[in-house]
């Protein structure tokens, strides 16, 4: 499942990099919680929560339906 999540992140990564940001996969739990670390411009951006929920989480859930939520960690 971790590889499927990584593949989903790779779909959205170019859009984040275009704005000077990036995302790193930290972990995927057995109960469907993905932890990511926002990097670069994304880490301090006031819109990062919207990017996380409406962008990263949406793409991951579409690709890997077993995922329940995506959360950012430091």
Task: Count Cβ atoms below 10 Å from residue 9 Cβ, excluding itself.
Answer: 21
Tell me the per-residue pLDDT of 8-67, one tens digit each, with 9 for 90 and over: 999 999 999 998 999 999 999 999 999 999 999 988 888 898 999 999 999 999 999 999
| pLDDT for the residue 43 | 85
Domains of the chain: 2-72 (3.30.300.130)
pLDDT score of 7 more than 90: yes
Q: What are phi and psi of 22, to 5 degrees?
A: -170, 170
Work out the angle at residue 28's Cα, subtended by the Cα atoms of residues 14 and 67, and round it to the nearest 5 degrees. 80
Tell me the per-residue pLDDT of 31-43, one tens digit each, with 9 for 90 and over: 999 999 999 998 8
């Amino acid at each position: 499942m971790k590889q499927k999540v990584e593949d989903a992140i790779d779909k959205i990564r170019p859009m984040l990099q275009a704005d000077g940001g990036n995302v790193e996969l930290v972990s995927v739990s057995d109960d469907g919680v993905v932890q990511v670390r926002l990097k670069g411009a994304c880490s301090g951006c006031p819109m990062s929560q919207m990017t996380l929920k409406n962008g990263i989480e949406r793409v991951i859930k579409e690709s890997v339906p077993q995922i329940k939520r995506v959360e950012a960690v430091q």
